Amino acid sequence: GDIADGVTRGLESLGATVSETFMEPVIRLGVTGLSRAGKTVFITSLVANLMERGRMPQLRAAASGAIQAAYLQPQPDNTVPRFDYEAHLAALTGHDPHWPESTRAVSELRLSLKVRPGGLLGAVRGLRTVHLDIVDYPGEWLLDLGLMEKSYAEWSADTLSHMPERPGGTALVQALNGLDAARPLDEPAIQAMSASFTAYLAQTREAGFSDCSPGRFLLPGDLAGSPVLTFAPLPAVSGSAPRGSLWREMERRYEAYKREVVKPFFRDHFARIDRQVVLIDALGAIHAGPRAVEDLRRAMTDILGAFRPGRNAFLSSLLTGKRVERILFAATKADHLHHSQHGRMTAIMQALMRDARRRADFAGAQTSAMSIAALRATVEETRPHNGDTLDCVRGTLLETGRQAALYPGELPEDPSVLLEPARAGAATWLDGDYNIMRFAPARLTLKPGEGPPHIRLDRAAEFLFGDRLL
Ligand code: GDP
């Protein structure tokens, strides 16, 4: 027994060494976040900065010169759309810079890095190749995981109970509650309900709320108009709903959505991720007010739950032992703030993450929270104001093309007031010019070896995959 075990162990460790030497390591980096959080800009700037490496001092492998080359290669997954890097980079850095088209569905890009290993091995082994497979997917799809554990009845009850607190929800909840769900199904009525429900979800997103599942209702892609995306929550029926009723049909479609839309995404994409960054427009939520922050906090908890195998039976069956090793929550668009506010922003993100970790009872992957700007569109400017000074940011306004120095307003000094909406009371944050802060990307003249300007993108890269490049 002992000897045989020893031999097996020996062979196993030999196997590991052999495959490490001959197989090129792959890091699958998931990039997600709700729509407009900044995924497209993040990936484009990250890849451009890794290819150039002039602005990545906090990524150790870049600073030390260990990364000798970085180049794009055909991705391994033949049926996943390729992330349109070249078009997005041209949009951001062209003569007339503009924001690229946002993420609508899953896409992928392979960046390969030639790395010189450090230490003694470096001299012996020569260059090795590490592939960074970046997988971009909408955060809305991730939040759908919550549906996997809910029956149609539970989902309906939950969804209807949140409606009154949300914009546009009062009228809809009244209309839906007034229905007799046991009545015979009728397609035009289902379509009308589904359309009102979709419009309501879009409106809640617009108002800064994070949880707006089912996620595909907002980003339908080629499923638009199909039965899996044509349903709505209904008030409970007493007893069991008769065959051919509105309730039965809605329930059938809800279950089909879980089985035919949510499940394949988790199986084909999510289950294969090694490292994950979750981008968050936290400034937008803070500006929108305590309800939106509360909702963001709940969404972060749900997201961490998705990365906790064991909690969700459906997920455990897909992951079978594999797990995401690192998760970064990054607040984007930090260039809307003068750096004097960055410390507060980071403290808020860290407090939100600690809270989410505690609530999700999360012990697993290494987590971190920071505030970044993937593409810096502003410069800082301190202006005199009523005998005092204001820390502003200056940039080109998207609407008018004019330059302006704007003052976003303040973030709370103590992040805990955001975690306890009761304490925040009527306080409003970022109530300066934040609501008119829509900057265009700045016109750039990049020298060779210079990626687009950013804030802490190199730190984010170091946390996410820096360890695998040394
Ligand atoms: P996606 O939907 O997550 O792919 O989001 P995008 O990457 O398309 O970003 C949405 C919008 O956020 C962009 O069109 C920009 O207006 C803004 N944005 C994203 N990243 C930055 C950034 O680093 N700085 C600034 N100022 N704006 C950004």
Q: What is the pLDDT of residues 258-301, one digit of tens each?
A: 999 999 999 999 889 999 999 999 999 998 888 888 888 988 88
Res. 55: pLDDT tops 50:
yes
Going by alpha carbons, the residue nearest to atom 2 of ligand 1 is 36
Averaged pLDDT for residues 318-346: 91
Rounded distance from Cα 70 to ligand 1 centre (Å): 24
Q: Is the CB of 333 under 6 A from ligand 1?
A: yes
E strand map for 34-155: 67-73, 107-115, 128-136
Q: What is the reported pLDDT for 428?
A: 77
pLDDT per residue as tens digits for the range 63-86:
999 999 999 999 999 999 999 999
Which pLDDT score, from 0 to 100, does residue 321 have? 67
Mean pLDDT of 179-200: 96
CB 270 within 8 A of CB 142: yes
Of all residues in the chain, the percent with pLDDT exceeding 90 is: 69
Minimum-distance ligand 1 atom for the alpha carbon of 398: 16
Q: Between the CA of residue 290 and those of 38, 236, 287, 422, 430, what are the distances in Å?
A: 22, 31, 9, 9, 12
Say what the pLDDT of residue 312 is.
73
CA atoms of 335 and 374, how far apart (whole Å): 9
Query: For 311-334, what is the mean pLDDT?
Result: 84
45 pocket-lining for ligand 1 (C-beta < 6 Å)? no
Find out whether the beta carbon of 34 lies less than 6 Å from any atom of ligand 1. no
CA-nearest residue, atom 15 of ligand 1: 99
Domains and CATH numbers, the chain: 26-137+269-377+442-469 (3.40.50.300), 150-266 (no CATH)
Axis-axis angle for helices 246-257, 152-162 (nearest 10):
100
Could you tell me if the CB of 280 is within 6 A of ligand 1?
no
| Tokens found for residue 460 | 């984010």
Nearest-atom number in ligand 1 for the CA of 33 is: 3
Alpha-carbon span 1 to 182, nearest angstrom: 65
278 close to ligand 1 (CB < 6 Angstrom): no
Which of 199-213, 255-269, 302-316, 395-409 is predicted least confidently? 302-316
Q: What is the pTM of this model?
A: 0.90
Supply the pLDDT for residue 429: 85
CA 54–ligand 1 middle distance (angstroms): 22
Residue to probe by mutation, ligand 1, list 99, 281, 398, 455, most atoms within 8 Å of CB: 99
Query: For 116-140, how does the pLDDT look when each residue is reduced to its tens digit (9 = 90+)?
Result: 987 777 677 789 999 999 999 999 8
Over range 199-209, report the average pLDDT: 89
Counting atoms of ligand 1 from 1, which one is nearest the CA of 138?
A: 3
- Average pLDDT of the chain to the nearest whole number: 90
Is the pLDDT reported for residue 19 higher than 50? no
Atom of ligand 1 nearest to the CA of 139: 3
How far is it, in rounded angstroms, from Cα 125 to Cα 186? 69
Buried b (16+ CB within 10 A) or exposed e, 39-52: bbbbbbbbbbbbbb
**Residue nearest atom 13 in ligand 1 by C-alpha distance:** 99
